[in-house]
Structure 1
Amino acid sequence: MKRKAIMLVGMLSAGTAAFAQSAPKDSLQYVALEEVQIVSTRATSKTPVAFTDVNKEQINKQNFGLDIPFLLTSTPSVLTTSDAGSGVGYTSIRVRGTDATRINITTNGIPMNDAESHSIYWVNTPDIASSLEDMQIQRGAGTSTNGAGAFGASINMRTQGIPSKAYAEVSGSYGSFNTNKETFKVGTGLLHNHWAFDARVSNIQSDGYRDRATSDLKSYFLQGGYYGENTSVKLITFGGKEQTYHAWDGISKDMLKTNRRYNPNGKIKEGNEDAEDAKTIGFYDDQMDNYRQTHYQLLVNHTFSPEWNMNVALHYTDGYGYYQEYKNGRTLKEYGLTPYTIEGVTYKKSNLVRQKLVESDFGGGVFSFNYRTNRLDASVGGGLNYYTNDHYGKVLWVKNYIGDLAADHEYYRNTGRKTDGNIYAKANYDLGSGVNLYADMQYRYIKYKINGNNDKWDFREGYDKLQRLDINEDFNFFNPKAGLFWQINRSNSAYASFGVAQKEPSRNNYTDGGFTKFPKPEKMFDYELGYTYRGKCFTAGANLYYMDYTDQLVLNGRLNEIGEPMAENVKDSYRMGLELTAGAKITPWLRWDVNATWSKNRIKNYVEYVSDYNESWDELYTQTARELGTTPIAFSPSFMAGSLISFSHKGWEASFQSQYVSRQYLDNAGVKENSLDAYFVSHLHAGYTFNVPYTKGVTVGATVYNIFNKKYETNGYSQTAAVYETDAEGNKVGNATIYNDPRYYPMAGTNVLFNIALKF
């Protein structure tokens, strides 16, 4: 793997040098970020979609150690979660209730979502925010983009541009839970009118709010660029290495009252017990997730004429990692191990330590040809990417095991391969009288294969072996979009749009689904209607949306052949809502921005499957289907609102940020017992910049998160069962009692981060 990475860097460097030798000479005026990045996937002020831009200054004012999702909480319809409860480590984002597997993420137009899981793990690229120029969040189907299907939102990140002058910056943060962040940045500025280089290294560590929810994150960013009169070339590499203790399991409602910081992961139970009530005698120290991810990007821009330009990018991502965990009372044959006998007693189960490993390679290219005149802005672009992912597992140790256990005993292995290609054409044409017509068409092709043994044991009669994966799927998606933008006058504008988005199932939809029946792809029709007012001191906007889904994949409680929860397609579901934004410049040094979202998110004709458990046997029995009619979609609050009051005057800056989120259901049944309570949380930041000789300024500050010490939870999951009374023969008697036992991920109470930054 290292050899492949070294070869790639060499190839990219050679390509950069070749471009440099043949490029025309001069001049400073062409040093601009847009010239070396794919920007055709971005919305502009006249694109009829709902979007929010977050610039570098806004990012830097919040970037003291928390992950990117927490830097976006002041934008409309955004929710964040944190397993560790502190915003460091495993975090995630939802937009309009859309989860991370349905949000397209790109950096410089290059896909960032994992091609199989469709998620992005921010922990793999720690402190990437320190190397960003800006971000754009598009809500709804948005514009055509590369990579994973944007099935409700997309986030387009751009890495920093090349400043014309040399600089250096050192910054650090320290606060609650031993959270600390250290970042060093340096740049050469423009050398000999053509060359420039930048570098960053970062370290982030935290004990986490929850017990043992530690994070140890390292990252870097390097870029070098050549800038000619008509051609610009930039080579970028960035990556991260993370080690986090598992905080993947939630806690009960009773535990929230007695010990909110409790983390059940890593439990070592007495004996070889996997029963819930078995005595816990300690916690496993190495219950860790370890991953390394390295990105390489070669970005080339060429300007043919004032109207025509071209962007091309080649990319490669190398990933390797594993998580290690202690498992109690595991069935040995599931791990390729034979039962063992001690003093005449045969043991078919035992406690053990296992590793699950993944090694991935992702590479390809994206491009766009762009044409712009006074009335027409058009692009033709696309990309072709290939992904391969090896999944395998090892058993490192078995308690009291008597038998042959080879070092690094491997018990399963499978490989996922994915080819993802797309091509799009889009145009925004000025019809006159302030009216622009927008059209956007994309064709996307996906070929996905998984071959090998899964880590799940197939207990069905006649099988009794690891689940065999033999998946070979092809998808062809046509995603058209169209809209009108009307600049009514200098201050008022409106737009209307329609878009189609389609998405293939994720790896988990296959591996955790039925063994003989595969899920279908999902489709969404997105209708948007918006209005914006921009005055000298006041801005306001409103956006109506209706997202109509066909075959959306949801967890409905149904189990697959071995009794594990799986996602199924539901025929009809929708999200509809109203997003409002407003901002007022009260004085030259005081501003207030607010946003709110009212929404209705529903599944039609929903059927829930509840597992029946016999209390005396404590084992899976059967399932009961419940026709619930129209129900709310999980993790989709009906109302949320945000407020940001910001102050800046004579070196002082301060902000007061608040967010309210209404009740969220943990599943699709709409039962209050399985829900997250509404919460209102606020954060306060204050800082001052000193003028210090031989520097560009020294800034010190502090942020108090959850200043009112609100006890709240942003994530969780339901555990629902139907319990029947039984007669002496074990037959069911009477109606079932529905038993709800949800789990929650608590967020930290009041906590503080102090920060300092020196710029040179």
Structure 2
Amino acid sequence: MKRYLFLFIALIAFPLISTAQINGQVFDAETNQPLPGANVVVEDTQTGTSTDAEGEFTIDAEEGDVLVISFVGYNTQEVTAEQGMEIFLQPDEEMLGEIVVSSNVIDIARARETPVAVSTITPAEISQEIGNQEFPEIMNKTPGAYATKQSGGYGDSRISLRGFDQNNTAFLINGQPVNDMENGWVYWSNWQGLTDVASGIQIQRGLGATNLAVPSVGGTISIFTKTAEQEKGGSVSQLVGNDGYTKTAASYNTGLGDNGWSASFLLSYWQGNGYVNNTSGEGWTYFGAVGYDPNDSHSFNLSVLGAGQWHHQRGTNVSIRDFQNFGDDGIDPRWNSNGGTLNGEAFNMERNFYNKPLATLNWDWNISDNVSLATSLYGSAGRGGGTGPRGNNYFNSAIDLYPFGGGQYQEDLTAHYLEGGDGAASRKEDGSINFDNVVDVNRSTTSGYNGALGAYNGQLIGSHGYSENGVNNAVLVRRASMNSHNWFGGISKLEAEVDKFTLSLGVDLRKYTGYHYRALNNLMGLDGYFSGGDDSNGNQNSLGKILESENTIEASPFHDTGISGPKIDYYNLGLVNWQGVNGMVEYDSGDMFTAVIQGGVSNQSYQREDFFDQQGNALSEKKNVLGGYVKGGANFNISDRHNVFANAGFISKQPLFDAVFPGFANDINPDLQNEQITSIELGYGYTSYAFDVNVNLYSTVWGNRFVERTIPDPNNPNQDATAQFDDVDQRHNGIEVETTVRPTNNLRLDGTLSVGDWKYTNNFNATLFDEDRNEIGTSTLYTDGVKVGDAAQFVGYLGADYRLGDWSIDAGYRYVDNLYANYSITDDAFADPDNEGALKLPSYGLVDLGSTFRFDFFGQSASLRVNVNNLFDTTYISESETNYHAASGDETWNGIHNRNFVWFGFGRTWNASLKYNF
């Protein structure tokens, strides 16, 4: 593989030679002062330079060429080259390189000004490289980021920053927080449309620059979307990819009219069979924005973004030996133990479906020359959930399809099906499921109903627990677990510039209601389903209620999701409100020194309402928890090339919803406490056209965590005890490097390096409580020095981009090491002082290749793009869900015990797209 890399670099390393030169100077249009460090590039090439300390430049170009002049914080200009030219750039607070920012509520980190570690991904990079990849994967080149496809279904990906998962990384879309208000997670299947409408991404690692009190432990990922663009025109595109993937998109911008109105629209449709077996899916992305600029003082923008989709999933864990024993020879990363056929079509017990439209109204008001008010109001009504099996099907060996835990290792499909024979009647020779046989077994083993509900006499009724009067609980049906929500919020920021100071004061208000329940989706051949579990029915609960086919919902994002219909198993609401205030003081000397201090306080209120189970306490008391942060930093520009910065901060982070109401009950946790995060960072930067480099050193402590574990009662082995561990801490130290080199006018090299040392800081003691909450003893977790898992602690990336006129080719190599298994520190292994710690997974390296050709078509611009990911079809483990260490004599794969449940990354994939602009 190395010789291919060397050959590739050798082929692209021959520069074009230019002989003519143009001299000029770049100024700030408001101050008439020279702009050092501005970029000057010949249009559609990589021929470029940057201005010196006096704003002067010399570039290999000829008179008549088009030069593109850009500088962070200023409008980009395109000018015709001529000797001795002078260019005056207009400042624009709403510009971030190529990225158009939709509102001033968005907090942007600016190069050589904001003292945080930041990386920016441009619209061109997103549109070219994302193809049919998952949206978070575009950030894998960023230092500190680790994104995987997880189980491999469309939208089932995740990303971490500096070793912190999505619960502890803040995600903003146009400045609005989108982490789930209850569990803090981000479901990328809800945001499939971001690949079509994203106009840029800024990854602020560490404390970040946002004023909002958001979970910026690992960092803040700020995503910008299209607005009502003021340039008239549109585009159509067609993308095709591996495994039947297609996406068709069309967009149009009206442009800014004389009356100040503008509008933009986008619609796209995608579908695919999925790289993983039985993970097909499809979805629509819809976007519309209307802008109104009545005068220089006011600007309005109303937008609606949504991405309704459904996709089959691979939610059941798969062991290494399952990957080996099923599917093609060797490791088959496509294997899916959930998949099969029903009525001759692909069918899967696990299917995700969701539609989450987000509506936003932005109003920017320039009150005076130095005072402005930016306000954003938003609302979202997410509807959907995921399907899965329901019923005690494991009582019937013919439909006992899914492994269950037990023994030293969890049971995998090899033990369950190949060795134990469970479910053999309903699995085919290749291990896939014959769901037609499941239907037959459901019907053949269920006798007619003969209970008190006479209208159902003789019908075939199944259930999950009830097994009287002819009701059969040894059946398998498909239920839908629903997690819908209504979410409304508002952000407003008042900003004033006083001499060299910028002062801001903001508010952040959110109101969230989460709807959690189960509904029937597919009766799998039965006539009805007996539903208990609803204690609110009183005497009716002894009879339960029978739901028929008309009471089922479709697993589709654009149909009734049953929020007002009959429900089974559970039905509760999560009520979360948020009130926050924040402030900032920033000092800017003008060209050398900036300093900022930010602070905020927030109140988060929690309340839980249960319509089924918590009789006598259906609506919990409301719990208010205060949190907040303080952070600050400074940046010093040593010269027009060198700068250094430092920042530090403290965050008091409110707990997640389930920590407030443990055990799915309405009783408030009496031991509730905030997590505490402290962070410090140092950075250095050097910039020129030929060479840029940024280096960051960081140390973050995530502490005061509360962990609860159930263990056998040492005084009564027949009962359970609860161990409550307080003040659990982990420290994340690391160094990050990001660099760009332009050795020739046509060649650009990009490199990043992340080296982390993330581990638990000590052993942790716990107090033991019996079932009656009496203190009965202590327990210890032996985690001192244990590595943090689920994200690579060493990642290196090298990319090359070579342009020759209208054609370009780019390649990247990414090396991953020091990746440890995901685990819980409450696993039994960590009760042993001699435990082996975290399981280290094999390192791996991946090569991606892409090429773009731009051409004219009927007088308009068009482009053809081809991407090949994992060019050499490398087999690798991207994450492990278990932490089993291999002993002598154990069967292994690359040194890893083959009983571990892992996700293998995708093999070679490809996509090609054709885009026409008009």
**Structure 1 and Structure 2 fold alike (TM over 0.5):** yes
SS at match of 2:693: strand
Distance 1:313 1:634, change over 3 A: same
Residue pair 2:107, 2:209 contacting (<8 A) in 1 also: yes
- Asked whether 1:488 is paired with 2:638, we answer yes
When you count strand as a share of all residues, which structure comes out higher? 1
- Asked whether 1:548 is paired with 2:548, we answer no
1:690 and 1:337 map into 2 onto residues whose CA distance is 65
1:549-564 correspondence runs (5 A)? 549-552=702-705
- Asked whether 1:665 is paired with 2:821, we answer yes
- Asked whether 1:393 is paired with 2:460, we answer no
Residue pair 1:30, 1:229 contacting (<8 A) in 2 also: no
Q: 1:338 aligns with which of 466, 487, 491?
A: 466
Query: Aligned residue for 1:179?
Result: 245
1:717 and 1:471 map into 2 onto residues whose CA distance is 36
1:254 and 1:454 map into 2 onto residues whose CA distance is 42
- Asked whether 1:648 is paired with 2:648, we answer no
- Asked whether 1:440 is paired with 2:598, we answer yes
Q: How many residues are aligned here?
A: 682
Distance 1:692 1:268, change over 3 A: closer
Distance 1:338 1:720, change over 3 A: farther
Which amino acid in 1 is paired with 2:869?
Y
- Asked whether 1:584 is paired with 2:725, we answer no
Which amino acid in 1 is paired with 2:468?
Y
Can you list the C-alpha shifts for 1:630-681, whole angstroms capped at 9, x where unaligned?
2111224331112221122311122112211112222256858845322211
Residue pair 2:204, 2:220 contacting (<8 A) in 1 also: yes
Query: Aligned residue for 1:298?
Result: 361
Query: Aligned residue for 1:55?
Result: 122
2:724 and 2:211 map into 1 onto residues whose CA distance is 26
Can you list the C-alpha shifts for 1:307-355, whole angstroms capped at 9, x where unaligned?
221110111101111322223626999978522366xxx9665433222
Residue pair 1:108, 1:156 contacting (<8 A) in 2 also: yes
Which amino acid in 2 is paired with 1:288?
R
Query: Aligned residue for 1:352?
Result: 477
Residue pair 1:174, 1:181 contacting (<8 A) in 2 also: yes
1:203-352 correspondence runs (5 A)? 203-227=269-293, 228-258=295-325, 259-265=332-338, 284-285=347-348, 287-327=350-390, 329=392, 338-340=466-468, 349-352=474-477
Which amino acid in 1 is paired with 2:808?
E
2:192 and 2:547 map into 1 onto residues whose CA distance is 36
SS at match of 1:587: coil
- Asked whether 1:698 is paired with 2:862, we answer yes
Distance 1:588 1:557, change over 3 A: farther
1:446-595 correspondence runs (5 A)? 446-452=604-610, 470=620, 472-509=622-659, 517=669, 520-552=673-705, 570-595=727-752
Residue pair 2:737, 2:754 contacting (<8 A) in 1 also: yes
1:15-30 correspondence runs (5 A)? none
Identify the range of structure 1 (182-191 vs 58-67) with the bigger mean alpha-carbon deviation.
Answer: 58-67
1:177 and 1:583 map into 2 onto residues whose CA distance is 35
Residue pair 1:719, 1:741 contacting (<8 A) in 2 also: no
Distance 1:190 1:375, change over 3 A: same
2:806 and 2:121 map into 1 onto residues whose CA distance is 22
Can you list the C-alpha shifts for 1:275-308, whole angstroms capped at 9, x where unaligned?
xxxxxx9985453111111111000001122222
Q: 1:676 aligns with which of 818, 831, 841?
A: 841
Residue pair 2:370, 2:496 contacting (<8 A) in 1 also: yes
Residue pair 2:198, 2:225 contacting (<8 A) in 1 also: yes
Residue pair 1:558, 1:608 contacting (<8 A) in 2 also: no
2:721 and 2:157 map into 1 onto residues whose CA distance is 25
Percent of aligned pairs with the same amino acid: 19
In the alignment, structure 1 segments of 5+ residues that lack a partner are 1-27, 270-280, 456-462, 610-622, 723-738
1:375 and 1:406 map into 2 onto residues whose CA distance is 69
SS at match of 2:129: coil
Identify the range of structure 1 (506-515 vs 254-263) with the bigger mean alpha-carbon deviation.
Answer: 506-515
1:562 and 1:240 map into 2 onto residues whose CA distance is 48
SS at match of 1:255: helix
Distance 1:758 1:36, change over 3 A: closer
Deviation, structure 1 residue 134: 1.8
1:78 and 1:564 map into 2 onto residues whose CA distance is 39
1:334 and 1:375 map into 2 onto residues whose CA distance is 73
1:564 and 1:352 map into 2 onto residues whose CA distance is 35
Deviation, structure 1 residue 124: 1.2
Query: Aligned residue for 1:78?
Result: 145
Residue pair 2:240, 2:912 contacting (<8 A) in 1 also: yes
SS at match of 2:466: coil
2:710 and 2:783 map into 1 onto residues whose CA distance is 13
Residue pair 1:64, 1:181 contacting (<8 A) in 2 also: no
Deviation, structure 1 residue 719: 6.6
Which amino acid in 1 is paired with 2:547?
A
Can you list the C-alpha shifts for 1:662-710, whole angstroms capped at 9, x where unaligned?
1222225685884532221111001101122231x11112101100111
- Asked whether 1:599 is paired with 2:756, we answer yes
Query: Aligned residue for 2:158?
Result: 92
Query: Aligned residue for 1:10?
Result: none
Residue pair 2:642, 2:686 contacting (<8 A) in 1 also: yes
2:518 and 2:722 map into 1 onto residues whose CA distance is 21
SS at match of 2:196: helix
Residue pair 2:228, 2:301 contacting (<8 A) in 1 also: no
Which amino acid in 2 is paired with 1:485?
N
Residue pair 2:462, 2:473 contacting (<8 A) in 1 also: no
Residue pair 1:334, 1:466 contacting (<8 A) in 2 also: no
Deviation, structure 1 residue 571: 2.2
Which amino acid in 1 is paired with 2:881?
Y
1:335 and 1:44 map into 2 onto residues whose CA distance is 59
Residue pair 2:321, 2:899 contacting (<8 A) in 1 also: no
Distance 1:471 1:674, change over 3 A: farther
Q: 2:109 aligns with which of 25, 28, 43?
A: 43
Identify the range of structure 1 (36-45 vs 201-210) with the bigger mean alpha-carbon deviation.
Answer: 36-45
Residue pair 2:493, 2:505 contacting (<8 A) in 1 also: yes
2:385 and 2:231 map into 1 onto residues whose CA distance is 42
Deviation, structure 1 residue 530: 0.5
Deviation, structure 1 residue 53: 1.7
Residue pair 1:83, 1:745 contacting (<8 A) in 2 also: yes
2:633 and 2:393 map into 1 onto residues whose CA distance is 56
Residue pair 1:513, 1:567 contacting (<8 A) in 2 also: no
Distance 1:583 1:507, change over 3 A: same
Can you list the C-alpha shifts for 1:544-579, whole angstroms capped at 9, x where unaligned?
100012123679797999999999655221100011
2:93 and 2:118 map into 1 onto residues whose CA distance is 27
Which amino acid in 2 is paired with 1:666?
N
Residue pair 1:311, 1:367 contacting (<8 A) in 2 also: yes
Distance 1:65 1:511, change over 3 A: farther
SS at match of 1:490: coil
1:53 and 1:526 map into 2 onto residues whose CA distance is 22
2:697 and 2:849 map into 1 onto residues whose CA distance is 31
Residue pair 2:371, 2:497 contacting (<8 A) in 1 also: yes
SS at match of 2:546: coil
- Asked whether 1:377 is paired with 2:532, we answer no
Residue pair 1:209, 1:747 contacting (<8 A) in 2 also: no
Deviation, structure 1 residue 757: 0.6
Identify the range of structure 1 (677-686 vs 408-417) with the bigger mean alpha-carbon deviation.
Answer: 408-417
Deviation, structure 1 residue 374: 6.2
Residue pair 1:578, 1:597 contacting (<8 A) in 2 also: yes
Deviation, structure 1 residue 472: 3.8
- Asked whether 1:420 is paired with 2:564, we answer no
In the alignment, structure 2 segments of 5+ residues that lack a partner are 1-89, 326-331, 396-460, 531-544, 552-566, 767-777, 887-896
Can you list the C-alpha shifts for 1:577-619, whole angstroms capped at 9, x where unaligned?
011111101112111111111111111234699xxxxxxxxxx
Residue pair 2:760, 2:783 contacting (<8 A) in 1 also: no
2:628 and 2:518 map into 1 onto residues whose CA distance is 38
Residue pair 1:144, 1:440 contacting (<8 A) in 2 also: no
Query: Aligned residue for 1:730?
Result: none
